Amino acid sequence: MKPYLVSAFPLALALSACSVGPDFTTPDPPATKTYTSEKEVLSPERRAALGQHMEAEWWTLFASNTLNTLIHQAVSDNYDIAAARETLAQAEAAVQAQSGSLMPQASLDALAGRQKYGVALFGPSNFFIPPFTYYEAGPSLSWTVDLFGGGQRRVERQKALAEFQGHELDAMYVALTGNVVSQAIQLAAINTEISTLERILVADEKILALVQAAFEAGSATRMDILSAQNRLTTDRALLPSLKQRFNLNYHTLSVLVGKAPADWAPPNLDFKQLALPEILPVSLPSELVRKRPDIMAAEANLHAASANIGVATANLYPSFTLSANMFQEALTPSRIFYGTSNAWALAGGVTAPIFNGGMLSAEKREAEHAFQASLAEYRQTVVQAFSQVADALTALAHDAEMIDALKAGVDTAQASLDLAQKSYEAGNTGLLQIETAQRELAQAEWRLVEAQSQQRLDMTQLFVALGGSPLRSASMTSTPGEHRG
């Protein structure tokens, strides 16, 4: 290739160093320092340690090896996670493809053809050239010079889109772990509720038997029997709905771990063994915007919209293309590589928009409006995230108040049972009072389990709202390089 052809490419590369359009900068974090207002007084029982970092795997705060194993199984076998991984890999490959398009494109071409010319005039007589076959072979090189940075902005946009897919994977992982923990908590709680209800039913049956015996002895009325029967029937009707809730949670959990319900059985998770952390680590609002995957995804989408303005701006400017080829040409294949068959060509072209009906300017305005829309969506995502954290914090405060009241109810029911037993031992009361007290204690414990289950669910929701544990930071998976203009 000719020396001046070789030197033309570095020169064009130097000219293509600038990029039109705005350089993206990360939006400033909100100035707010807390999630809840001063009027919302939170209970000190579960203290929110504002500014404290959460465990890498937040679910370990429940101190359950069974739960940990279930989470790892879900992350390994969940099909949505597998699909999201492939989507991220696809986006990363698209970055490489877009980057490669900026480089000079070289190819090796070969051609065989047959051609016929018309009449050729040689002196005073006409000479007809018969059809002939020709052969060509050789390399060719072309390059569209990215003089105004439109190509670089396309790469930047593709990187931002790949970044978006990475954060989408993280968000799906956070949602998956939160759903698995929630479903597991509900399964364990329902198991406990079923056991408690069975205790209530046993008490109901004993109470009914005692009332019937009292009726036969003349110390109870028919209304007392009907009342006891109605209580037993009403409590029995609660059991099918509890079992149905258990089955629904079980089926949902099986899907989360990538199994059909018929091919998988849930682990035996003891509700009472699910520990509760005394301190809840809560990221600062300024830290949350740099950690929560959906906020980071919204930022990546905003970055892509910013780069798209640069692409639309570059389209308003001329584009330059350089091309060159060197080929061998001959009438027979055996002579195609002879030195006398050498040929070469060098071309440079420029295309400048002159009139397009305002299309290119409109596309630039379109990109600018799309950026403003993405900016509004980003800010909405941030305030929505803050609201979700505030919801979880206030819910936990109210859970603590309710649990305190229900624990007092359990203590009262237990004291009533103890008193009934002592009174029975002294001969002052019968078995009916004891069975009634046992039933009331079981009911109080059932209500307490429901409240404790809701407390654990709200705690799970808090960890999810705080951004959970992003998959790629936990597994050290590589992500596309971040571009900041």
Task: Judge whether residue 484 has pLDDT over 60.
Answer: no
pLDDT band at 126 (very low <50, low <70, confident <90, very high): low
pLDDT band at 339 (very low <50, low <70, confident <90, very high): low
pTM of the model: 0.84
CATH class of 3-101+111-475: mainly alpha
Task: Judge whether residue 4 has pLDDT over 60.
Answer: no
Residue 437 has a CB neighbour count (10 Å cut-off) of: 23
Task: Judge whether residue 379 has pLDDT over 90.
Answer: yes
Least confident of 84-98, 138-152, 165-179, 300-314: 138-152
What pLDDT, on the 0 to 100 scale, is given for residue 121?
A: 52
What pLDDT, on the 0 to 100 scale, is given for residue 380?
A: 96
- CA dist., res. 168 & res. 425, Å (int): 66
Higher pLDDT, 112 or 121: 112
The winner for highest mean pLDDT among 43-47, 107-111, 320-324, 342-346 is 320-324
Task: Judge whether residue 128 has pLDDT over 90.
Answer: no
pLDDT in tens, 179-212: 999 999 999 999 999 999 999 999 999 999 999 9
User: How many CA atoms are closer than 13 Å to the CA of 71, on its beta-carbon side?
Assistant: 22
pLDDT band at 340 (very low <50, low <70, confident <90, very high): low
What pLDDT, on the 0 to 100 scale, is given for residue 328?
A: 78
pLDDT band at 427 (very low <50, low <70, confident <90, very high): confident
What pLDDT, on the 0 to 100 scale, is given for residue 124?
A: 54
Residue 394 has a CB neighbour count (10 Å cut-off) of: 18
- Domain spans, the chain: 3-101+111-475
DSSP 129: P
Task: Judge whether residue 242 has pLDDT over 60.
Answer: yes
Give ∠ CA 461-463-467 in degrees, rounded to 5.
110
What pLDDT, on the 0 to 100 scale, is given for residue 43?
A: 52
3-state helix, strand, coil in the chain (%, to 5): 60, 15, 25
What pLDDT, on the 0 to 100 scale, is given for residue 67?
A: 94
b/e sequence 459-472, b meaning 16+ C-beta within 10 Å: bbbbbbbbbbbbbb
Residue 256 near residue 74 (C-beta atoms within 8 A): yes
Q: Which two tokens stand for residue 219?
A: 């110390």
DSSP-based three-state secondary structure for 216: helix
What pLDDT, on the 0 to 100 scale, is given for residue 473?
A: 59
Q: What is the mean pLDDT of residues 263-280?
A: 88
Q: Which amino acid is at 297?
A: A
Task: Judge whether residue 10 has pLDDT over 90.
Answer: no
List residues bridging with 287 in a β-sheet: none
What pLDDT, on the 0 to 100 scale, is given for residue 327?
A: 78
- CA dist., res. 103 & res. 152, Å (int): 11
Question: How many residues are there in the chain?
Answer: 485
pLDDT band at 40 (very low <50, low <70, confident <90, very high): low
Higher pLDDT, 335 or 208: 208
Q: Exposed, middle or buried by CB within 10 Å (0-12, 13-18, 19+), for 162?
A: buried
